[in-house]
Structure 1
Amino acid sequence: MNSLVKDAQKAGERVGLKSDQIVITGGNPLKGRIRVRGAKNLATKAMVAALLGETPSVLRDVPDISDVEVVRGLLEVYGVVVTSTVPGELQFDTSNVERAHFAEIDAHAGSSRIPILFCGPLLHRLGEARIPDLGGCRIGDRPIDFHLDALRAFGAVVDKSFEGIYITAPDGLKGANITLPYPSVGATEQVLLTAVRATGTTELKNAAIEPEIMDLIAILQKMGAIISVEPNRVILIEGVDRLVGYKHTALFDRNEVASWAAAALVTKGDIFVEGARQVEMMTFLNVFRKVGGAFDVEDDGIRFYRPEGDLKPVTIETDVHPGFMTDWQQPLIVALTQATGVSFVHETVYEDRFGFTDALNEMGANIVVHKEGLPDHPRRVARRDFEQAAVITGPTKLHGANVRVPDLRGGFSYLIAALGAEGVSTVSNVGIISRGYEHFIDKLEVLGADFVFEG
């Protein structure tokens, strides 16, 4: 059994998924109301931040996804008592944080990349951090050099061994001037989680400013941190001696909202996504409207639907916030296969995120991937050396097929394609989808999808 299959099975088991394979009969418009909870990309980082507090923390609207279970397991390895008395709410008691061995960390981390973000809090609490080999979705090279370089700038000593990475801070952590070569979300989170208790002031240039970053900053401020977000992607962090616990409701999951919106387009459906907010979705909503979708913004969520008429081709360039998120392009590409004309998607964030299109082509799509990008195509976002481009010609009829989920966002895109295709599709490795989509099987059922578990 290869590692991808094992990862999928473990992820599904963590959240009680019945099987790792489902059979979908396409053609039913998805209609109904579903709810999204807190963002995977915020909730897991907020859980790590709890390590910094000397008093208990409470995080609300936590999604029931396997990545949350991974972080919970890691916190418990370090002696944090994690409890839940209300669905969607976690309490963290960090009064007895203790050291853990590589083997324990590795057993709980699996393929997750979240352990790297434990480094700053653990250095402050224990004086050391141990990080096993890191995994994550297979969407291209995601080096941890940004993280390690940032930790070294604070005065950490990084040693590598056959077990993983051992990090210490013999002279303590001190504020630093750090300029990221790219506004990496993960590296920005690393600096924030490390700088808040470092001695002195840290200036972070070229920082990520995604809504999830702003929500993490809000959490750290509640804990007693002093953080200023300056113009031009500059963040100033004044280190403090002590942080306390927090009480916080997590920001909604923007990626899940965009995925269900794309599903409404592909299946000619009508989906109300409770918990979605307009402000954080503005860039996506503009593109959704250009494609031919319609939406109604309500106080408690957003309704996404497909009116009469053809879908329209668009040009998309992924970018860091406030640009079009890379996580949004995969589900939307499925919708673009049904647009009349030629669409262009320029992927500038990850260098290998179009691998999922092979299966879509097997299902009848007409997608050509240019691995060196399209340098002569008109652009607004600056071209990057490693970028790729996808040219989607439509509309094409999608038909059922047997497909294997390759990664989180690509996997949900396969579900969307299967739901909109003629005939029957078998989708395997669906456990990977549970890493970031809470109760997605239950939601499909509520929306009227025609499917059964197999195996």
Structure 2
Amino acid sequence: MNDLLYVNGGNPLRGEITVRGAKNFVSKAMVAALLGETPSVLRNVPQIRDVAVVKGLLELHGVRVEADDAAGTLRLDPSDVEIAHVADIDAHAGSSRIPILFCGPLLHRLGEAFIPDLGGCRIGDRPINYHLDILRQFGAVVEKRPQGIYLSAPRRLQGTKIALPYPSVGATEQLLLTAVRADGITELAGAAIEPEIMDLINVLQKMGAIISVDTDRVIRIEGVERLEGYQHTSLSDRIEAASWASAALATGGDIYVRGATQPEMTTFLNTFRKVGGEFAVDDEGIRFYHPGGDLRSIQLETDVHPGFMTDWQQPLVVALTQAKGLSIVHETVYENRFGFVDALVGMGATIQVYKECLGGRPCRFGQRNFYHSAVISGPTPLSAADIEVPDLRGGFSHLIAALTAKGTSQVRGISLIDRGYEHFMDKLSALGAEFSRD
């Protein structure tokens, strides 16, 4: 595909768009279907590249996938699961980290699994060692080979007790997908409890799993011998909804996001209001709009759920360049998430990044030499520029900046945005954005 977009900015985005299921849940629910002995049906599925990658990987492993793209429905039949060829997995998985989550289900179904070198967004150090250590604790044998990592389970995996040093979403997903069919009880302390994790637990419970979640971030799973397929409608994508909300704020616009839901966005909505944005919630979605007047500067720290999620940070920072005063943002989840601000500075934003923790809560990165705090001084008019998209969320943030800036920007690398934003160019058109491609 042509990876270059010309964006003529400086005009408010106005209109209505629709968000479907959460990228960070749908792909995991697709993997969960491997655990069932009967077909599963997943609804509210977005047409994004990550879904296509997982669909391809499932098909390589013998799962029959029937997709109704218009309805957003997938039917997943895992009756004939088999081991895929190494080269095929490598070809499909080059840009995704999802293959690591296939391991637990495949070890239960086939007694073996293989994962190639993993790709994904280069926004921080996300080693797979956590995942491999978890699988070893269940009794998996891990063998590093030239093409990747081969795993085997000589006997049924055994329940275990694990305490995470940090509530990692990926590690929590790995444990859930492995523990539900392991022998005995598994206990995970320090678990992630994001809404997407809770929806994955809903799916696994529908399949026959026994899972409890305590208020102290402890998840207990009682393993079962057999799981059935599920029927489930995905929760809405709170990251995409917040991204469009930030676009409305930055451009002085008014966007109705059909499908957006309040409960998963409470923390974002509070912050949106503090900055000076307005919103209205109804049964079908949320309207986000700039009410006029000055936006207000804020102090913000990202955190694991129920805090302000890291994926909301980058789009909102673009809006904060238009707020009056000094805003301070302390990133505590990913260590290298402020690389995207270089492009904003090139467009006229006044942003300084720091290695120190500019916030009140303890942070993993304070003594580790990462630029993980930012001070944004505004409001500053943004000017058009040539921009290279660095990663998924940073890319959408650059797109918002180009839409906010006066003049025509060239945005390169927009295929990265397709990973997590369904039909984003159609949605831009619906909101009155001016853009073109070669």
Q: TM-score, normalised by structure 1?
A: 0.94
Whether the 8 Å CA contact 1:183–1:206 is kept in 2: the answer is: yes
Aligned to 1:318: 302
Aligned to 2:125: 141
Q: 1:408 aligns with which of 392, 395, 406?
A: 392
| 2:253 equivalent to 1:273 | no
| 2:159 equivalent to 1:183 | no
Quote the Cα distance in structure 2 between the aligned partners of 1:287 and 1:441.
27
| 1:301-380 correspondence runs (5 A) | 301-370=285-354, 372-374=355-357, 377-379=358-360
Q: 1:102 aligns with which of 82, 86, 101?
A: 86
- The code of the aligned residue for 1:64 comes to Q
- The code of the aligned residue for 1:69 comes to A
State the shift of 1:209 in Å: 0.1
Aligned to 1:33: 16
Q: 2:47 aligns with which of 58, 64, 70?
A: 64
Aligned to 2:363: 383
- The code of the aligned residue for 1:345 comes to V
State the shift of 1:327 in Å: 0.3
Quote the Cα distance in structure 2 between the aligned partners of 1:110 and 1:93.
24
Aligned to 1:52: 35
Quote the Cα distance in structure 2 between the aligned partners of 1:315 and 1:174.
46
Q: 2:401 aligns with which of 401, 410, 417?
A: 417
Alpha-carbon RMSD: 0.9
Quote the Cα distance in structure 1 between the aligned partners of 2:48 and 2:430.
18
| 2:421 equivalent to 1:437 | yes
Q: 2:150 aligns with which of 157, 163, 166?
A: 166
Aligned to 1:90: 74
Q: 1:218 aligns with which of 197, 202, 210?
A: 202
Whether the 8 Å CA contact 1:222–1:246 is kept in 2: the answer is: yes
Whether the 8 Å CA contact 1:180–1:204 is kept in 2: the answer is: yes
- CA deviation string 1:322-361 (max 9, x = no partner): 0000000000000010111001110111110000000010
Quote the Cα distance in structure 1 between the aligned partners of 2:142 and 2:402.
46
Quote the Cα distance in structure 2 between the aligned partners of 1:336 and 1:29.
16
Residue 188 of structure 1: SS of its match in structure 2?
A: helix
- CA deviation string 1:271-310 (max 9, x = no partner): 0001111111000000000000000011110000001110
Percent of matched pairs sharing the same residue: 68
Aligned to 1:20: 3
Whether the 8 Å CA contact 1:183–1:207 is kept in 2: the answer is: yes
Residue 76 of structure 2: SS of its match in structure 1?
A: strand
State the shift of 1:378 in Å: 4.7
Q: 1:74 aligns with which of 42, 54, 57?
A: 57
- The code of the aligned residue for 1:33 comes to E
Misfit runs of 4+, over 3 Å: none
Question: What stretches of structure 1 of length at least 5 have no aligned partner?
Answer: 1-12, 14-18
Question: What stretches of structure 2 of length at least 5 have no aligned partner?
Answer: none
Whether the 8 Å CA contact 1:345–1:390 is kept in 2: the answer is: yes
State the shift of 1:85 in Å: 3.8
State the shift of 1:231 in Å: 1.8
Quote the Cα distance in structure 2 between the aligned partners of 1:259 and 1:340.
21
Quote the Cα distance in structure 1 between the aligned partners of 2:356 and 2:77.
49
Whether the 8 Å CA contact 1:346–1:373 is kept in 2: the answer is: no
- The code of the aligned residue for 2:152 comes to T
1:85–1:26 Cα change, 3 Å: closer
State the shift of 1:172 in Å: 1.9
Aligned to 2:114: 130
| 1:105-124 correspondence runs (5 A) | 105-124=89-108
Q: TM-score, normalised by structure 2?
A: 0.98
- The code of the aligned residue for 1:330 comes to Q
Quote the Cα distance in structure 1 between the aligned partners of 2:399 and 2:126.
25
Quote the Cα distance in structure 1 between the aligned partners of 2:387 and 2:269.
29
